Each structure stands twice: as C-alpha cells, then as structure tokens.
Structure 1
Amino acid sequence: MTNTISQAPMLQAPISRDSGEPLADQIVRAIAARIDDKHLRAGARMPSIRQFAGKHGVSPFTVVASYDRLVAQGYLESRRGAGFFVRERASLNTALPAAAPTAAAAPKLDVVWLIRNLFRQVPGEASPAAGVLPAAWLDGPGIAAALRAIGRQQGGMLLNYGNPYGYLPLRQQLQRKLAELEIEAAPEQIVTTVGVTQALDLVARELCRPGDTVFVDDPAWFLMFGSFAALGLKVIGIPRLADGPDVAKLAQLAALHKPRLFVVNSVLHNPSSSSLSAAKAFQVLRIAEEHGITIVEDDIYCDLHPGPAVQAATRMAPLDQLRRVIYLSGFSKSLAANLRVGFIAASPELAQRLADRKMLATLTTSELGERVVYKILSEGVYRKHLERIRGRLDAARPQAIRRVEALGLGLDSQPTAGMFLWVDAGRDTSVLAAQAMEQGLLLAPGSLFSPDQLPSTRMRLNVAALEDARLWDFLAGAIGRAR
C-alpha cells in the first residue's frame, strides 16, 4: 500500500503590495495563522517554492525567506529532497504529556475569536466581518500630510505630557462640531480618549460598582459586553427595533433591575444601521428620568450619516443637553482606526471626574494623534472626505442588498445610510462562520452581538467589503445546502 501525503492548499487571503507590510511578513503571518487554527494539519506538504511564487505573484527569494522563517519559528520543517512540511506543534514541548486522540473540535466562536481573527487579516484587506471601512476608502495621503506638517513644527511640544482633558485646540474644534448637532458643550466638558472603547471603560468605572446592572441594545457592539463583565457588571440586553429600543421592555426591566447605565447607538446603530425616532428618544429619556438611569449615547458612526436635512436622525444629547446623557464619539470609522482618537462630552462636574480617572489610567492621551485629527478637521478637507465616503456607501449598499436578496437571505429593513446590513441567513450563523473560516473567509455571526450569545440566524455584513467573489460563492453554496 502506498502512503500518500496531503498537499497543503495555497493561501486563501491575497497578498497585498499596497499595505506597506513586507511580502515575506504577510506570508509568514498568514501561514502561521492557518497552522495555529488547524487549517493546515501536521505532515501536510507545503507547495513548492516555484508553485507558491507563481500562484501568488511573488519572487522565489521571498518564498524561500518566508519558509525559512517558518522553519525557525517551528511551524515548518525542511526535508532534504522532499520539500517543506507542516511540523507537529506538540513536539515543541516534550515536557507535556501527549493528549489522548479526540475528534477535532469546532472553534469556539466568541468575541475574542472574532477580534483575534480580524487582526489576523492582511492589513488593509476588506473583510465582511469588519466594523471599519477598507483602507482604500480612507484618506491615507491626507493623514500622512498632516503627520508631516506636525513633524515640521517645533519638536519640543511633543516631548512632554499633554493636557489631561486632551489637546485644547481639538476640544475647541469639537465644541463647534457638537454645536452643529445642537449639543452645547464647552471645551471643559470634553475629554479626549483612546477611542470610544476607552470612553466606555472610563464612564463605567466612574459611575458603576461591581454588581451593578448595565443595559445595552440587543443586538449591539460586542466588545463592550466582555469589558463590562470584566468590571463585575451585569449586562442585560434591551431588544432593538427598527426605530430604537423596545420601550415597553425597557420600562419593565428598568423597574426590575434599576440599571446604572443604558448604552445606546441612536444614529446608525451597529449592527443594523437603523436610527432612533424622535418619539422613541423622548420615551427613553422619560424612562431614564423615572428610574435614575444615565444614558450613554455612543455616536461613533455620526459622520457616516448624511445629516437631518437629508435623512431624519434623532440624538438624545441635544434633547437633554448633557444632564442625564453622556455623549461619546470618535474618528476610527471615518478617518483611521489607528489614530485612536475618541472623546466624551458630559456635564462639567462629570467631565472633571472622568479626566481625573483618565489620569489615573493613562495620565494623558497621545497629543500627536489629537493634533493630526485637529489639523484635518480644521482645514476644511474633512467634509469633502465624508461626502466621498457616503457616496461610495450609497453606491455599494443597493448592490449588496440586491445580492443578499438574490440568495434568499432576509432583511427586516433596508438601511439608507451607514455601512452595515443585518442579515437573516435562516440558519445558525455560528455554524456558517465556522465553515467560512475553513475557506479563509471571516463572518460576524449574530450570536456575538447579543450579551446572552445565544444561537442566532443573523449576521452582520459590511457593505463596503463585499467584493470578494469567494464570499458570494460560499454563501450560495451554504444556503443552498441548507434548503
């Protein structure tokens, strides 16, 4: 009987020459990730150097360097005259007893799984699971020009700590930005943060204690579920409808649990891209007043909305003027996630407490990133940049909706702004996501967007990142098999 050796498949993700990352680094990271995730099994033969180079359009020297680094890191082994093979990883730690053979377990799909795999994607590569726009849609040259301009200024200003509240000219610019939304906030009411992620953490640490209850939209942004749970908080979801939270359920659960906070996406809700109606906004504020709830309005997708002159959108911060509402936003979705510039707008007393808490956590935020954002906002190019992004989204969204509906996937409503579609696949999307991962495709299953993480038939798709034909081929095959 002849022994056969399985051939390892080529990489699923394309190699990007525009990402700025060396090609060898991309190859090493991609192969290592597939070995770690058990998509490449021990003993599988890697494509020959010539095959790999031809398939991926790189030089043989690049492939040799990549394979050699993978050998050095323990992922591959070189067999003279035979080629390169995936190495048995367990052999790297002989002190551990060998585990009894078991059936291969499906990967655990949780928040950490999604985030870890998002960060494994080739930098700049569009992913249907991502919560950000593709790098090609953003203004990389504009950000680079702003960085160069700041670098030409007197260097001493970047060598010390900044203001605990944040770079003052940026906060003054944010004051004008908030005024356009009819939110009155002096610079002393604005605290810059390392994105909305830190903003939520600071607010929760300041206003909550272990054992307190926090309400969130259900579905909602998944990262905060784990963040709040790590603080010892009880997280309860309020069903999100097309025009905002289910206010009957909100009133019922508020009376029962007496939550400290209710975190809400009023405009372009993640993951449905729906927005709050005026009637719902007033009802939520009334319930919050009755039960002593602080509303945390996460408006991170603010700048992707065309504005009330084009499409209705109601925020609670203008109605409340930062008395019971804390307003959060940032620029990771519209400028660059890597700048990590967000901000909190709150009452003067609370803003001071949050700035103090920020000092205890990080002293100050990076003034370099804040100066870059200020320069871009203050020079007038930002509005044109946003118009371009919204135009591209408006062009991509109908096409995505048509393709989704052609596959027989459901949509409760068809959003007219934002980057997301909240799709009903008619089957457990955690299973679908696990199958997609085997083909190098990353999906965002609906179970991750609920604090209970129960099985869900929903999934979030980013309309700006659906051009990969493999995605549609996979969905067509998977949905067809389920029928």
Structure 2
Amino acid sequence: MSSVPLDQIPAPHDAATLTLVDQLVQWGRRRIEERVFRPGMRMPSIRKLALDKGVSRFTVVEAYERLVAQGYLDSRRGSGFYVRERLALVTGGERASVTAGASARPEGATTAAAPAPPTIDVVWLLRNMLHTSTRPEKGPGLGYLPARWLDGELLTGAMRSLGRQSGTQLLGFGSPQGFLPLRQQLQTRMAELEIGATPDQIVLVSGITQAIDLLARIYVQPGDTVIVGDPAWFQMFGRFASQGARLVGMPYTPEGPDLDALEALVETWRPRMLVINSVLQNPTGTSLTAAQAFRILRLAEQYDFIVVEDDIYGDLCPAGYPATRLASLDQLRRVIYLGSFSKTLAPNLRVGYIASALDVAQAVADQKMLVGMTSPELNERVLYRVLTEGHYRRHVERLRGRLDGVRDKAARMLERAGLRLFAAPGAGMFLWADSGVDADALTAAGHEAGFLLTPGSLFSPHQSPTTWMRFNIANCGDPALPAFLADYLEGVARRGGGAQA
C-alpha cells in the first residue's frame, strides 16, 4: 500500500489545530467512506502505517482505537484491525447515495435489496471530484479545468454590474424558458455556428445534466432503446436507465463513431434516441466529419429516431478545426442541440440550454415547470453579462492556448509511463489511454497515492471492466504522476498480472 503524506489529507478549515491522531483518524474515515477500505478488509498493520505516515506507533494505535469507538473498525485480538460492516450505521443521505450508485447500472436498476456497489463507481468518482477540486494537479481524472485557468473576474465583474441595478427585477419566478436577453444572445452565438434558432426555440436549463433529465422524461418510455457512445459521458446512463430504457453502446474508432456498427445497431434495436458529442467527444476527443454527420442524419431519418447533440466542449474547439455539428446540417428538425458554459467559466455556474424545434422547446419548458418551475434567473443574468461585455471570447482563446501548450507534453508523459493513446486530438481537454492493466485497480492504487484517476469502466453503459482510462491534460502536471503510473504498470508486469491485475 502506497503512503499518503498526512499533509495531503483534506482537512476542515481548522486543520492547523488538528493533532496527528486527528489527521490519521480523518484519513481512515475518508478511505472507509469512499470504499477504498471495504467491509471485512484488514487495515494496514500498526508498524507499517507508522512507517508509511512517518508517525509513532502510539499515534496509529490511538487513531485506530478512535475509529473503533466511532464504529468504523473492529479490533480482533492477535489479528489486527478490520473495517466494520456499517449498514446499520448508514445515514439517510448515505443510503440514498448507495442506492443512486446501484441505479446507475442500466440493466439491473432496483430500489430494494440492491447489492453493495463496487469499490469504484460513479458516486465514488463524483464524491472524489468534489474533494479534489482544491488540488486539481492531483486530479488527472477530473472532468473540468483547474480554477487557476479560469477567470473569476469575468463572473465577479458581471455580478457587480447586476448589483448596480434595481433588485426588484430578481424577485419574481422568472420565465420557464429562461431569461429572454440571454436566449437572444444565444441565438446570435448559434448563428455563428450556422444553426438557426429563434429565442422561442431555446430553453435555458441548469446544465447538461438537467437537459438530459428533461429529455428522458419527455421522450423515453420503459423498454425504449437509447444509443449512447461506448465510451461516453457516464452521468447520463443512470438517468436513462431510471426511465426503464435499454442502453446500447456505439463503439468508437480513432476517427470517431463506428458508423457501420451504428447502422447494425439501429437496424436491430430501432432506437428512440441517439445521444452523441459531435465535437471533442468525452472521453476520446474525436469529432465528427461532415460525411459522418450526414450519414448519422440519414440513419435518423430512415429509422425515425431523435438525435441529441451534446456540444458542451464546443467552445474549446478553435475556428477551422475539422468538426461538423449535426444541428448545422439538420437545422433542428430532428436534432436537439445542447450547450453549456460549465467547462469554460465555472462548474457551479450551472447554466445550459436546449435548442430544438418549436414544439419540442414548448414541451421541454412545460416539463421544466413540472420538475422545478424555473431555472435560477440570477445565474442566467450573470452569464448574459459575461457574454455581452466583450471578454468571453478572449478568455476562451486563452483556454485553448493553454490546452495546446500542455497537450503534447501530457501525451508524451503517458506514453513514456507505458500507456497507449487511442487518438491524438488537436483540441480539447481529454486523452483516452490504454493502461494495459485493470483500470479499476489502477484507480484504487492512485487514490491511495493521492491521485484521482478515472477508469474507463465508468464510461461504458454497462460499466464493463476495461484497461482504458481518461486523462484531463490540464491536470497532469504533478511531477509525481509519471513515476506513479510507470511504477504501478512495471509492478503489474513483473507479477505477470497484465489486464487481470
């Protein structure tokens, strides 16, 4: 077990007052709650943990005894300390999280007597993404850019502008479709992408996650087939599965989606919907060519299914980059187009939008009212100010430049460590790489060493075991990361474990 320095253990704001025992207790609780140490597992021996952490054996004994008192460990005389089964101690919130983790599996979602989730699952990753947000250099598996790359002044400047206006305009419910001036601004932005949409065809939502949720509620019935990428963005899998949908994975090649495979899938399954990143796909980084886009639209017409185009990474794509948006060809007749600003401004801004045919937009607005009335207009007004005060374009250009500056370096680092790249995208923030070993095991080892990695199993609609992993190139700069990856892969090779390690 790799050691994690105590000064890397996340602590509350009064961390300066914590003793070494307190810090070690906190470390143990985190590892148990995040299921790195699972029920029944023997904890590291007192001697080993003392050596790993650079503390006295007395400190370890005291920390273990506190964890016993708090219900996290059992002490077995002559054998050591073991992680206690905590089902009877789980709070309502934790119980809900476990249920959510189980329901994220498309074929076996249940609400009663669900088996315990695996060590590495979607909920585990989301929890750890939040814990790692203050140390992005330790999070090559994170799905967003580090805060130091973003421009908080864009947001604070917009909020100052709003503060000079009368507050009475913020006291109503707002519009189900969202703040009209922002929708008008989005109409202009989409026209630059050759997508025609009136403000009435645009509905503002709280990010892509809510967009997928609303569309699933409207269009997907139990037994319907939804085709998603395999690999693809994992948070949507559970939402479609909760509607009773059958999720079918479309494989990818280094040139983009395997369209021969897609054609065979739609012939067999007659899907209700296809969900796809057309530009800088998460996690492969591939983009659609015009020929691929035309073929997808022909299949959609022939087999009568909806295409949901998620363009959340579109602003990271420079002008002239070889990528084609389906909505620019279809003009929102069959394509429902999604966008967001969480990747370029702030993950917690939570303003996205749906652009579609007029009848679809009305159905989305109605469903949005049923689920949560309206989205927060304050956020929408802030975004409107950011987009209209003239600095957003330059900010995005800087982000693209910074990504261009680290992409090749991150790729070479991964290759030297022993991983194989799927493709070599010329834009965007992700690299999809084959580790050659069990990605879940590598992720667990990385977590113990202080790194948040993202295994490829989470990107499969069936969460199948895999050797592939996603890396965020903006967060691969920790000098200890290459050595950790290389040492782990070499260790597996010496043991002869390969992909089964």
TM-score by length of 2: 0.80
Unaligned runs of 5+ in 1: 1-7, 53-66, 78-85, 96-104
Q: Cα gap change, 1:432/1:154 in structure 2, threshold over 3 Å: closer, same or farther?
A: same
Q: Secondary structure at the match of 1:255?
A: helix
Aligned-partner residue type, residue 112 of structure 1: V
Cα distance in 2 for partners of 1:463, 1:426 equals: 20
Where does residue 180 of structure 2 map in the other structure? 168
Which region of structure 1 is more displaced relative to structure 2, 30-39 or 369-378? 30-39
Aligned-partner residue type, residue 6 of structure 2: L
Q: Cα gap change, 1:340/1:22 in structure 2, threshold over 3 Å: closer, same or farther?
A: farther
Aligned residues: CA RMSD: 3.4
Cα distance in 2 for partners of 1:25, 1:389 equals: 38
Where does residue 100 of structure 1 map in the other structure? none
Conserved 8 A contact 2:285-2:425: yes
Cα distance in 2 for partners of 1:431, 1:157 equals: 53
Where does residue 450 of structure 2 map in the other structure? 440
* Cα displacement string for residues 278-310 of structure 1 (whole angstroms, at most 9, x for unaligned residues): 1111111001100001100000001000122xx
Among candidates 185, 195, 200, match of residue 188 of structure 1? 200
Cα distance in 2 for partners of 1:106, 1:12 equals: 30
Q: Cα gap change, 1:423/1:42 in structure 2, threshold over 3 Å: closer, same or farther?
A: closer
Aligned-partner residue type, residue 233 of structure 1: A
Among candidates 281, 291, 295, match of residue 279 of structure 1? 291
- Asked if 1:120 corresponds to 2:131, the answer is yes
- Compute the displacement of 1:93 (Å): 7.0
Where does residue 129 of structure 1 map in the other structure? 141
Q: Count matched residues.
A: 441
Unaligned runs of 5+ in 2: 56-62, 74-80, 91-115, 494-501
Cα distance in 2 for partners of 1:463, 1:384 equals: 21
Conserved 8 A contact 2:220-2:240: no
Cα distance in 1 for partners of 2:223, 2:435 equals: 36
* Cα displacement string for residues 52-106 of structure 1 (whole angstroms, at most 9, x for unaligned residues): 9xxxxxxxxxxxxxx9xx99x94899xxxxxxxx9987799799xxxxxxxxx99
Where does residue 336 of structure 1 map in the other structure? 346
Aligned-partner residue type, residue 115 of structure 1: L
Where does residue 93 of structure 2 map in the other structure? none
- Compute the displacement of 1:44 (Å): 6.1
Q: Secondary structure at the match of 1:339?
A: coil
Where does residue 33 of structure 1 map in the other structure? 30
Q: Cα gap change, 1:327/1:436 in structure 2, threshold over 3 Å: closer, same or farther?
A: same
Where does residue 383 of structure 1 map in the other structure? 393
Which region of structure 1 is more displaced relative to structure 2, 135-144 or 180-189? 135-144
Aligned-partner residue type, residue 270 of structure 2: K
Where does residue 122 of structure 2 map in the other structure? 111
- Compute the displacement of 1:107 (Å): 5.2
Cα distance in 1 for partners of 2:167, 2:278 equals: 41
Q: Cα gap change, 1:432/1:353 in structure 2, threshold over 3 Å: closer, same or farther?
A: same
Conserved 8 A contact 2:222-2:244: yes
* Cα displacement string for residues 328-384 of structure 1 (whole angstroms, at most 9, x for unaligned residues): 010010001101000000001110110000000010000111111110001110001
Which region of structure 1 is more displaced relative to structure 2, 257-266 or 154-163? 154-163
Cα distance in 2 for partners of 1:346, 1:358 equals: 15
Conserved 8 A contact 1:12-1:439: no
- Sequence identity, in percent? 48
Where does residue 10 of structure 1 map in the other structure? 5
- Counting only pairs closer than 5 Å after superposition, residues 380-419 of structure 1 correspond to structure 2 as 380-419=390-429
Q: Cα gap change, 1:197/1:12 in structure 2, threshold over 3 Å: closer, same or farther?
A: farther
Aligned-partner residue type, residue 33 of structure 1: R
- Counting only pairs closer than 5 Å after superposition, residues 228-377 of structure 1 correspond to structure 2 as 228-308=240-320, 311-377=321-387
Where does residue 56 of structure 1 map in the other structure? none
- Compute the displacement of 1:226 (Å): 1.1
Cα distance in 2 for partners of 1:94, 1:453 equals: 28
- Compute the displacement of 1:21 (Å): 6.2
TM-score by length of 1: 0.83
Q: Secondary structure at the match of 2:8?
A: coil
Q: Secondary structure at the match of 1:353?
A: helix
- Compute the displacement of 1:35 (Å): 4.6
Cα distance in 2 for partners of 1:205, 1:35 equals: 36
